[in-house]
Amino acid sequence: MTSVTAVNLSTGEERLYTCSPREAVVAAYAQERKDNNTWQYAERYDHLVQQGRWHVFCGDWGVRLPPAPEPQVTSTAAAKKIIKDFLAERPVSYSRLTAKTVNLQDLARVGCIFVTIHGWTPGPVAEDIRHLAKRHGFRVEFDVRS
């Protein structure tokens, strides 16, 4: 579990916790009131929690929620569509896209999808494409020979 920093919005005080953001604000709120009976926090304080899209609060204590992860691609067709849609919005000329799943079971116990852009010399957009692919859980390659 990752660490979470709860911040008191009135005083600026910060407290570090290794629990969920919701549990962190409840703990900070309770401990500010000298309540260290952690097994009763949910029962005593959960009704005070307010959660939005980006933050969770309990009293003056707040935590910024992490951004939701991008959905991970599970098929070669979906990976190609993401790259094709990205390239369609830019003045990029290429001949074709191919995709394959490479099984890395012996090395890392996982497989990975690789999309190859054929007939395009990587330009300034190449890093953006690599980041886009990585966010969605696949990789991209460039084949300038085609």
Per-residue tens of pLDDT for the chain, all 146 residues: 679 999 999 999 999 999 999 999 999 999 999 999 999 999 999 999 999 989 999 999 999 998 777 778 889 999 999 999 999 998 888 899 999 988 766 655 567 899 999 998 888 889 999 999 998 989 999 998 75
Element (H, E) at 129: helix 126-135
Please give the Cα distance from 1 to 14 (Å, whole number): 19
Which amino acid does the sequence have at 24?
A: A
* Nearest CA-CA partner of 59 in 1, 3, 13: 13
